[in-house]
Amino acid sequence: MPVLTRLIPSPVVVDISRGAIGDLAGLLADQRISSSGKLAFAVSDGSGQKLREKLSPLLPGADWYVVSDGTIDSAVKLADGIKGKRYDAVVGLGGGKILDVTKYAAARVGLPMVAVATNLSHDGICSPVSTLDNDNGRGSYGVPTPIAMVIDLDVIRAAPARFVRSGIGDAISNISAIADWELSRQVTGEAVDGLAAAMARTAGEAVLRHPGGVGDDEFLTVLAEGLVLSGIAMSISGDTRPSSGACHEISHAFDLLFPKRAASHGEQVGLGAAFAMHLRGALEQSGLFADALRRHGLPVLPGEIGFSAAEFVQAVEYAPQTRPGRFTILEHLNLSTEQIKDAYADYAKAIGS
Ligand SMILES: [Zn+2]
């Protein structure tokens, strides 16, 4: 008999609301998450301590672990700390680094992971990927999707606005990533997962076209939901394809070529996405991207994040090497340095200033 439907790995609870952290104890008491109340919490030694002070009286069965950085060593140390202590789950409470470390540590000891995101800087908050610094630079490790996802809009609002801006760039870049995926289907015959594409694209379009800004709850809700759906889209496809194409290759190139000067992930992928849309001749969409990025205070030209046009050209040229095997508009066009220069001049002129 054929399979009637497929099951999607996804959190059993998603709470995106104002004051969500205040209800955390109740959420964690859900029998599917923690029946004994024995939980391990991972927090940063900086802003995490304030949340710890606020939450520890409400969570008597919690042990607290401090995570100092986003390295694989920290993740292994955390796993060593929590193993054998009969916790029901591990709760990561913090920004992207804390969540990535917690995801990996939880996977290592076979415990479910609860993600409590304190900023919206990228779509990794609810994804099946843990990005950690290792001896070879940075690696992406496959891990289970979080069992529960909590985003407190009051906490998000208290974080520096640049973190929210970064998430906007990452969400919008989905649209470019899906265009790359569809191009690959046409040219190389790669299979596109229609459900993953639908979720990731809808998330990107909702953020792109929302009239609000980082100061209002309606916009923050759509952005947070968009980032969660992007993560689940990656669980569905089993890779980062729905959210990562030429836009991300360009950003990875910035990270690798200029490690000390790289801007935030979302700033780089947003710029990369606007340029990629231009490269594929989607001029109207490239303009829409540029308008949205500008409106939210994100860069549309490399000079706005401290890179010259020549450095941008260098990054675009290097980009395909950052993701061997991934077919995007960059691999398709296979432009020479001169052609990239011309394309960039054309892009800069088209989006104006
Ligand atoms: Zn991303």
Residue 220 and residue 231: Cα distance in Å, rounded?
17
State residue 9's pLDDT score: 87
Strand partners, 137: 134
**CB contact set of 314 (below 8 Å; sequence gap of 6+):** 253, 257
For the cut 80, the answer to whether the pLDDT of residue 1 exceeds it is no
DSSP code per residue over 81-97: HHTTS--SEEEEEESHH
For the cut 90, the answer to whether the pLDDT of residue 270 exceeds it is yes
Q: Determine how β-strand 129-134 pairs with β-strand 137-142.
A: antiparallel
Upper half-sphere CA count for residue 306 (Cβ side, 13 Å): 9
Residue 277 and residue 274: Cα distance in Å, rounded?
5
State residue 2's pLDDT score: 76
For the cut 90, the answer to whether the pLDDT of residue 157 exceeds it is yes
Residue 216 and residue 212: Cα distance in Å, rounded?
7
**Annotated binding-site residue? 170:** yes
Distance 252 CA to ligand 1 centre (A): 10
Round the average pLDDT of the chain to a whole number and report it: 95
For the cut 70, the answer to whether the pLDDT of residue 22 exceeds it is yes
Length of the chain: 353
State residue 113's pLDDT score: 97
Distance 124 CA to ligand 1 centre (A): 7
Alpha carbon distances (Å) from 167 to 149, 243, 259: 16, 12, 20
Nearest one of 272, 259, 277, 280 to 298, comparing CA atoms: 272
Residue 139 and residue 330: Cα distance in Å, rounded?
22
What are phi and psi for residue 220, nearest 5 degrees?
-60, -35
Token duo for residue 248:
């991300």
Strand partners, 107: none
Residue 237 and residue 242: Cα distance in Å, rounded?
7
For the cut 70, the answer to whether the pLDDT of residue 69 exceeds it is yes
Distance 122 CA to ligand 1 centre (A): 6
Residue 235 and residue 254: Cα distance in Å, rounded?
26
Distance 306 CA to ligand 1 centre (A): 20
Distance 53 CA to ligand 1 centre (A): 32
Q: Which domains does the chain have, with CATH numbers?
A: 13-158 (3.40.50.1970), 161-351 (1.20.1090.10)
**CB contact set of 132 (below 8 Å; sequence gap of 6+):** 70, 71, 72, 75, 100, 101, 104, 138, 139, 141
SS3 state of residue 38:
coil
**Annotated binding-site residue? 38:** no
For the cut 80, the answer to whether the pLDDT of residue 196 exceeds it is yes
For the cut 70, the answer to whether the pLDDT of residue 252 exceeds it is yes
In this predicted model, what pLDDT tens digit does every residue of 301-350 receive, in sequence order? 999 999 999 999 999 999 999 999 999 999 999 999 999 999 999 999 99
* For range 39-46, the mean pLDDT: 94
Residue 75 and residue 107: Cα distance in Å, rounded?
10
In this predicted model, what pLDDT tens digit does every residue of 80-103 receive, in sequence order? 999 999 999 999 999 999 999 999
Confidence of residue 138 (pLDDT cuts 50, 70, 90): confident
The position carrying tokens 């849309």 is 277
State residue 137's pLDDT score: 80
Residue 231 and residue 129: Cα distance in Å, rounded?
9
Distance 85 CA to ligand 1 centre (A): 34
Token duo for residue 98:
């804390």
State residue 353's pLDDT score: 58
Confidence of residue 46 (pLDDT cuts 50, 70, 90): confident
Confidence of residue 273 (pLDDT cuts 50, 70, 90): very high
Distance 266 CA to ligand 1 centre (A): 7
Residue 12 and residue 259: Cα distance in Å, rounded?
38
* For range 109-128, the mean pLDDT: 95
Distance 337 CA to ligand 1 centre (A): 26
